Structure formats: C-alpha cells, structure tokens
Structure 1
Amino acid sequence: MRNLLAFLLFLLLRNFAQAQSSPTPKLTVTPLNDQVSVHTTYGMYGKMPFPSNGLIIKTKDGIVLIDTGWDSDTNTDNTRQLLQWVSDNLHQPVRLCIVTHAHEDKMGGISELRKAGVRVISTPLTARKSVKLGFESPEGILSNDTTFSIGQEPIRCFFPGQGHTSDNIVVWLPNQQILYGGCLIKSVAAFGMGNLADANLAEWAVTIRNVMSQFGTARIVVPGHQDWGDTKSLEHTLTLLEKHKAAQK
C-alpha cells in the first residue's frame, strides 16, 4: 500500500512539473473575412497561458495591426511571430500598429515593431503610461475620436470612457461592421472581470453603454481576450459588472 501511495505521489508531482514547464501556445490567426483576421497570442495569467486578441487588417496600401502580441520588455517573440506570419502569408508590409491601451498584452511588442520599421500610434495618455511601465512609447497622436483611412479602409479610434483602464480605446471598421473592443469588452466565454488593477469600476458600465450607442450595428465584436462574436459580449460585460458589484457588498 505504501509503495502504491508513493507511486501515485510521484505521478502527481511529475504531471505538475510537466504542466509548469509546458510551452506557451504559439500564435494563431483566424480570418473574419477576406480583409480582417484576429491574431491571438498567449501570455501567463496566474499560472496558466491565456489568449490575447488583436486584429490584422489588410488594405490596398499594406497591413494595419491593432495591438501587438502579448510580450514583455525582455521577450518580444509573440510580435516577432506575428510579423513573420504577415510576411509569409499576406506578402505586404505592416504600415501601422494602433495600440489600444498601456498593458503588456496590447503594447508589449512595440520594440519589435520599431525594429521592423513599423509606425506605432496611440492616444497621448497611452503613450505616457507605456513609458511609466518601462516600454517604448508609441506616438501619442490620436485624439479621443479619430477617423483616418489607409488603402481606402476607414478606421475609427474612439475613447468611450474609462473602464478596464483610464486609456482604453475601441477601434471601429465601418466598411466591415467590425468592432474591436479590446479589454474594455469581456468575451461571452468570460466568467469574471479579469485584471482590475487599473480599472474604473464606477464608470465601466456607462462606458459600455456609450459603446453600444455608438456601434450597435456591429456584426462582429472582438474582445481583448477569449472568444468573439456578435454584440452579446457588450451585454455580457454589463452582466459581469453587476455580478462583481453585488459580490463586493
């Protein structure tokens, strides 16, 4: 009996060690249509790999990225994989990257993009916060509501209010009716609010309703993490906020 228990303990410890040393999943790219794809990279949240989404937008004048891969100031392998995927599969240069807020899952690969000659832009607040976190600063040129076109593809960058962070913006592609909500919007697969270290819980619900009033015609809504789909994720975010509020009482 003692030998059996010792053997079972050995198997448990071995499986735990293997789980701890298991590699983080590699980049995946999922097309939404002929022009827009979701890039998903992984970082560690707690002790488990967790997916982080961004967009790849194909235009007549090159590629636009929304957010970098999930990287750190010492390891930019995810963004390197992203650039290599674009080169191998789309055969167009990356012209621009728009950073939606100053957390490493969204802007950790700035240095890798800069090495590749890619212009990186954000709001002024995100640029300032990036520096405070020890990352390279994007060009802080975006106002709270900025629309521009690259290769005949209009892109709207909009600050709807504070929520996940004080600087979170969303990106709207009117021709595609695709809304990239970033970490402001929770996936319908999410069971909780996630990282609240820089959150404004008092304003978050108001901000979501602002997004709903602005982009209620969206066919696809892509959150910053996990699965994407239609506008149900906006309503789901409000539900999670209510549950979190109730749990704090």
Structure 2
Amino acid sequence: MRVLFALAGLLFIPFFVQAQARPMLAVTPLNDQVYVHTTYGIYGKTPFPSNGLIIKTTDGVVLVDTGWDTDTNTDNTRQLLQWVSNNLHQPVRLCIVTHAHEDRVGGISELRKAGIRVISTPLTARKSVALGFQAPDGILPNDTTFSIGQEPIRCFFPGEGHTNDNIVVWLPNQQILYGGCLIKSVAAFGMGNLADANLNQWAGSIQTLMKQFGGARIVVPGHQDWGDSKSMEHTLQLLAKHAAAKK
C-alpha cells in the first residue's frame, strides 16, 4: 500500500508542476488596429503579466516589446509571432523595445530568427548586451516619429524612472500611449522592480509625460491592467508613498 501511495505521489508531481506553469499568451484588442499582447514571467515566485503592443498597419505589423522571455526560453515570443500569423495574416515588419529588461528584450533572438528587425536607443542596445541578450539596433534618438503603413509612431524618452533607458511609444492617430514599465497600472499597489530605478527623477519623467500625452485616450502600462491617463497620476501617488515610507 505504501508503494502504491508513493507511486501515486510521483504521478501527481508532473500535474502540480504543470499547474504552476506560466499562462499562455493573451491578446486583447484596443480597437481594430491596436492590440495588447500579454505574456507571463515569474516574479516573486508566481506568474506575473507583462504587456506589449501589436500595431496593425497597411504595410505589416509593428510590435512594441517582445514577450517576457529569457536567453534560453523564447516560447512567449514564438507564441506571439504565431498569433500574428494566424490572426492578422501579415508579416511583422519591426519590433520596438522600450528598455533592457528581459520582459522587453528577452525574445529578440526569436525575432531575429524570423528575420524581424528590432530597434531601440543606443543605451538600450548596450545594456541588452551587458545582460546577455541580443542587442536591438540602437538607432532611436530621444524623440523621433516615423510612419509604417501610414501609421505614425512616436518613440520618446521622457527621462529616467524605472530604468535610465525607458522610452514610451505614442500612437497619435489612435491616441494610445504605451508607457511600458515607467507607468504603473492603477491595479498596482507598489513600485515593483526597483533594481535599476532612478527614484529621484521618476516623478519628473511622469510629469513630462503628462504634459506631452495627458489627453491620451488609452494608457498601457508595462504590467497589469490598462486604462486612461489616471495611471500616470497613480504612478506619482505610488512614488510619493514609497518616498514617505523610506523616511
């Protein structure tokens, strides 16, 4: 009986491991041209969601950020490319990565295998290599706008905050701001990963965003739920609470 119980326990282990695995890719439309892709990494020993954008244009698809992957496992970005192929039936022309953390750059190698160009700032390119990831093409200045398929895309560095290289992406035709990890979701109760943060400049960077994009219809943070520009005000409140707690 003890042997049977032990075997039953061993048979149960794979099921338990599978139950703890990261959830699969989720894609949510914001309108008929822009989608949020959500993949999961492990943060604090539990799966945690990470957002990026899929932008459909008349000349192919633009991604903002890869899936949350590691240098040895790019399944999330592979799923993302498969979703685009199956559902949008267009090639991915470009990926913009918004800073050098694995939830943004972890899938670059998978994109490169597919022949997709990946771009960011020179600083993000250098930091990606230092962290052991493939580097994006470091061609973006601190503020630039270009168009793909008649869809203008603005990449903007508002200042340091979550990292010293965090940029945001603004879609003026859609009035959608992708704030990445510089902006905290209204669902967030804390500041999250501060390992590379500049807490002295973060609030000023958010205020710059509010001046530039305060009228955004939709603001997508790097993690958790998205909504309107209230998430920028919420980020300032979280920063103030964090500073007060440190005194």
User: In structure 1, which of residues 107, 122, 125 is the aligned counterpart of residue 123 of structure 2?
Assistant: 125
- Residue among 17, 21, 24 paired with 2:22: 24
Given the superposition, is the C-alpha separation of residues 203 and 20 from structure 1 closer, same or farther in structure 2, using an over 3 Å criterion?
Answer: farther
The CA RMSD measured in Å over matched residues stands at 1.5
Q: Determine the C-alpha separation between the residues in 2 that align with 1:246 and 1:23.
A: 37
- With the length of structure 1 as denominator, give the TM-score of the two structures: 0.93
User: In structure 1, how many angstroms separate the alpha carbons of the residues matched to 2:218 and 2:97?
Assistant: 20
Distance change in 2, residues 1:31/1:21 (3 Å) = closer
Specify the code of the residue in structure 1 equivalent to 2:99: H
Residue 25 of structure 1 and its aligned partner are, at CA, apart by: 0.2
1:9 matched residue in structure 2: none
Question: Are residues 1:143 and 2:141 paired?
Answer: yes
Alignment partner, residue 52 of structure 1: 50
Q: Secondary structure at the match of 2:201?
A: helix
Letter in 1 for 2:160: Q
TM-score by length of 2: 0.93
SS at match of 1:112: helix
Separation in 1, partners of 2:229, 2:199: 21
Aligned pairs, number:
236
Residue correspondence of structure 1 range 153-164 to structure 2 within 5 A: 153-164=151-162
- AA paired with 2:33? Q
Return the letter of the residue paired with 1:176: Q
Question: Once the 2 structures are TM-superposed, how far is the Cα of residue 62 of structure 1 from its aligned partner?
Answer: 0.1
For 2:61 and 2:19, locate their aligned partners in 1 and report how far apart those are by CA, in whole Å. Answer: 35
* Cα shift readout 1:173-204 (whole Å, capped 9, x = no counterpart): 00000000000000000000000000000000
- Aligned letter for 2:175? Q
1:135 partner amino acid: F
Structure 2 alignment gaps of length 5 or more:
1-11
* Deviation digits for residues 63-84 of structure 1 (CA, Å, limit 9, x no counterpart): 0000000000000000000000
Matched with 2:209 is: 211
Q: Provide the residue aligned with 2:81 in structure 1.
A: 83
What is residue 11 of structure 1 aligned with on the other side?
A: none
What are the ranges of 5 or more consecutive residues in structure 1 without an aligned counterpart?
A: 1-13
Return the alpha-carbon distance in structure 2 between the equivalents of residues 151 and 136 of structure 1: 27
Instruction: Please list, as runs of the form range in 1=range in 2, the aligned pairs for 1:175-194 lying within 5 A after superposition.
Output: 175-194=173-192
Cα offset, 1:20, TM superposition? 8.4
Q: Where does residue 8 of structure 1 map in the other structure? A: none
**Residues 18-57 of structure 1: per-residue CA shift (max 9 Å, x gap):** 3785221000000000000000000000110000000000
